Amino acid sequence: MPKLLLATSNPGKIREYRFLLDGLGCQITTLTEEGIVKIVTESGNSYEQNARLKAITYAKLSQLTALADDSGLEVDALNGEPGVKSARFAGEAATDAEKVSFLLAKLNGVPWERRTARFKCVIAIASPRGRAELCYGECHGMIAFEAKGENGFGYDPLFFLPEIGKTMAELPLEMKNQISHRARASQKARQVLQQLHI
């Protein structure tokens, strides 16, 4: 059975991708399982650049097809921030709780109708030969006034979905994995991976 390398060390992402890519007919492996310790610095100015950089680097290192993503939260009242800096917005080593608190502080006093936001995800799939294919996904919502929910990770407890009436972190994983930005990008990634016959 061919292997697909998930080029991330984020346990939340690994759990979601194992679910989203289930049934593809390949063995999903991780950097840890492959003994890869190199950390690729996300030095790009866009999700595309970061995803491509990680996928190509880890595909060459492992000699496996690699899937990497870069994703972020864009808040309209903050002119699209944190965007590509989402993971480091509250500082390099900030916990998820600290990221949530930092974002809430930034939006202090911003009324509900101006708290519109979107999650974006770009997946890059690269072969060891170095070519990368990109897949995109987006999910629109609002930034809640307080964190709610125990599921998910990152900014999920603040990302409110008006059509459902819950935050992303209040949804069961099965439901999140039907509507999230990562789910939408993954649907396209499945098609790419099937064409590659990995």
Which residues are marked as active site?
Answer: 70
Run of H or E residues at 159: strand 159-161
CA distances from 104 to 32, 49, 89, 100, 190 (A): 34, 28, 12, 6, 35
Q: Are 154 and 12 in contact (CB under 8 A)?
A: yes
Q: What DSSP designation does 26 have? A: S
Angle, helices 11-20 vs 181-196, to 10°: value is 60
